[in-house]
Amino acid sequence: MSNPRKHPVEQPVFRSLMLTSLFLGVVLLALNESPSSGFVSVAALVLLAVFVVSFGLYWLAWVLREHELWREGRQGEGA
């Protein structure tokens, strides 16, 4: 028997991408001494944007998963 694929909310890679991009974005912002340092600022903003997008996708996937579990539970009640 094969194992069923995990939902994206249950994937540790997705959560680690989200948390790593947040951590590195904050670290790069903290290390950015002058606002005129272009590469560090852009890299920090890109990493924070990756975090925001991945957090939004994670939240949406979690809501959809919970909704599907709720629907399956309602079908079992006969409603």
Give pLDDT tens digits for 9-53: 777 888 898 999 999 999 988 887 766 668 888 888 999 999 999
pTM across the whole model:
0.75
Higher pLDDT, 7 or 22: 22
In the predicted model, is pLDDT for residue 4 greater than 80? no
Question: Do 18 and 58 form a contact (C-beta atoms < 8 A)?
Answer: yes
pLDDT in tens, 66-75: 888 888 887 7
In the predicted model, is pLDDT for residue 79 greater than 60? no
In the predicted model, is pLDDT for residue 77 greater than 70? no
Q: Would you list the DSSP string of 5-66?
A: PPPGGG-HHHHHHHHHHHHHHHHHHHH--STT-HHHHHHHHHHHHHHHHHHHHHHHHHHHHH
CA–chain centroid gap for 22, Å, is 10
